A and B are shown apart, each in its own frame.
Chain A
């Protein structure tokens, strides 16, 4: 069965800390791995990764994929209270061509 596992499930840090969120997967016909940030409403797209070892970066956020070990990490440096959210990892693949398989998410709380 295809699955995506995120860790930790929740995390509390203080402003200025650096955090690393983990996503491991076992998905047939892997196409891509995506990271989303979900605050109170819709998940918003952060990154899409398709190739191993190539870091994607946007401001204080960065992510990298390891297709050999089947995992990805999302790093956030110099965290701010506005980074508080649930971070979702999703993998495109599986038996259905259009499908994204989501992990349960990591809830990040950044304290002032």
Chain B
């Protein structure tokens, strides 16, 4: 079975550029989560969706970050304009429901903003 698929695996770009990260959740999963992982702060939830609708975006650091889920099989996280402090590994995860179901993670996108 295909797991959560993220692209690109690595992204290196200059500050000020727009960055778009992509995620395909596991088929049939109702919940999709975007996380950011850094050495200093660990794994932090940015936003999550239920049935394509954003439920909680309180973790989105600022207006430069936006996320969409146009359909059940695709989501994007966009940063515009990007800054060096956005450098991190961004993970997408999905789960069948939220109540007592594990989240399954993609391999992440390693983002470096120069």
Chain A residues close to B by CB (< 8 Å) = 31-32, 34, 36, 41-45, 48, 50, 88, 90, 92, 96-105
Contacts and interface: CB of A to CB of B under 8 A. Distances in A.
A61 B103 CA distance: 20
B45 A45 contact: no
Contact of A103 (B42, B106, B107): B42
A84 B42 CA distance: 18
A101 B43 CA distance: 8
Task: Determine the interface band of chain B, counting residues with CB < 8 A from chain A.
Answer: 20 to 34
A98 B42 CA distance: 19
Given A98-B50, A99-B48, A88 B31 contact: no
Contact of B98 (A88, A97, A102): A97
A104 B31 contact: no
B56 A44 contact: no
B108 A99 contact: no
A31 B4 CA distance: 24
Contacts of B43: 43, 88, 90, 102
Contacts of A48: 100, 102
A104 B42 contact: yes
10 contacts: A41-B107, A42-B3, A45-B103, A92-B98, A96-B58, A97-B55, A97-B98, A97-B99, A98-B56, A104-B42
A45 B101 CA distance: 10
Nearest to A43: B105
Contacts of A98: 31, 33, 48, 50, 55-56, 95, 98
Interface in B70-114: 91, 95, 98-100, 102-108
Given A98-B48, A98-B55, A100-B45, A34 B102 contact: yes
A101 B50 CA distance: 18
